[in-house]
Amino acid sequence: MSEYFRPIIRSEREIPSNAQIMRGTAFWFTHAVKLSRNSESEIVLAKKIPNHILNKITKRRPKICRISFDTPTIMGILNVTPDSFSDGGKYSTLNAATEHCMSMVSAGADIIDIGGESTRPGAAELDVAQEISRVIPVLDEVAKEIQVPISIDTRKSEVAKLAISSGAVIVNDVSGLKFDSKMAEYCINQNLPVCIMHSQGIPETMQNAPKYKNVCLDVYDFLNEQIEKMIDSGMQRSNIIVDPGIGFGKTLTHNFDLLKGISLFHGLGVPILIGVSRKKFIMTVAGLKENEDRVSGSIALALFARSQGVQIFRVHDVKETVQAMKLWHSMSSYSPGDFNAS
């Protein structure tokens, strides 16, 4: 692409007559930042955005697995791994994993994301048989106990096939469907919703001096190319979610650039998922010690992303995030008289 447009999103109740509405939500915009690889950015009127891009930004996102994206969608994380960066080993037993899933659903999770391979920086690839042995027993049990959709967090088609047979309905692939050549074909043939994530390199080496010409535009181009490739191969756009991959082959500056520019990705025309929960850079920026609580920082970043129209939030701390989202929405759309004085 030669030109990109990042809508300057707002959510006040008072909407100007010239505003472009992001359908199905409380978000709107009158201006956008026009970006190019060859010239300085500039602010332009929303009506200057080409129609094919404007339509992708503003169209209502279709439901996936009966989930509406008109309100924030909370994806609760279940890592059944001994070495994940935040909660490795905490839910490695069947009882602990099942109880945690039920707890997250009770707290308001709309999706449960189950993964058996750590993709933290420096993590080595896990053998397929090991990954299967971790996730399938948990999936078999959890699928009987909860009613919300389950996604399988895996790069491997063999794991995905068994997970779908055990009750998962979404594939969340941190490689963007590039690690396993059979993954895309399987998801297309099964008409499965997928989350396509950007990552530079593999987990074992991705933080070894990652470089970009322009991180927002580079990630956007990768995701756009993957979306179009999948559609050309038979995937429905309505089955696609994108994730810019915060922390996956990115420096601190790259992460902040992506978060600051996250509304750019509405131009892809699909729901955006963001995963910032408990990431190490929160500790760095907040000046925390290694094992200090990162919940508050995680929620602060999630609320910023929501203010930019992001639809899906992959989080460890479901109860706290749900509460924060409810209060943010109440405040952002508040006008006098909304609440009766007690």
For tokens 């008289």, the residue is 337
> Measured in whole angstroms, how far is the alpha carbon of residue 260 from the centre of its chain?
15
From CA 288, how far away is CA 301, in angstroms rounded? Answer: 16
Residue 114 CB contacts under 8 Å (≥ 6 apart), including other chains: 78, 80, 101, 135, 138, 139, 142, 150, 151, 152, 153, 163, 168
Structure tokens at 45: 């009127």
From CA 330, how far away is CA 338, in angstroms rounded? Answer: 9
Neighbours of 103 (CB within 10 A): 13
Establish whether 23 is a catalytic residue.
Answer: no
Contact status, residue 55 vs residue 305, Cβ threshold 8 Å: no
SS3 category, 154: coil
Establish whether 279 is a catalytic residue.
Answer: yes
Contact status, residue 200 vs residue 206, Cβ threshold 8 Å: yes
Catalytic residue (choose from 155, 156, 279, 280): 279
Contact status, residue 22 vs residue 267, Cβ threshold 8 Å: no
Contact status, residue 198 vs residue 179, Cβ threshold 8 Å: no
Residues designated as active site: 279, 314
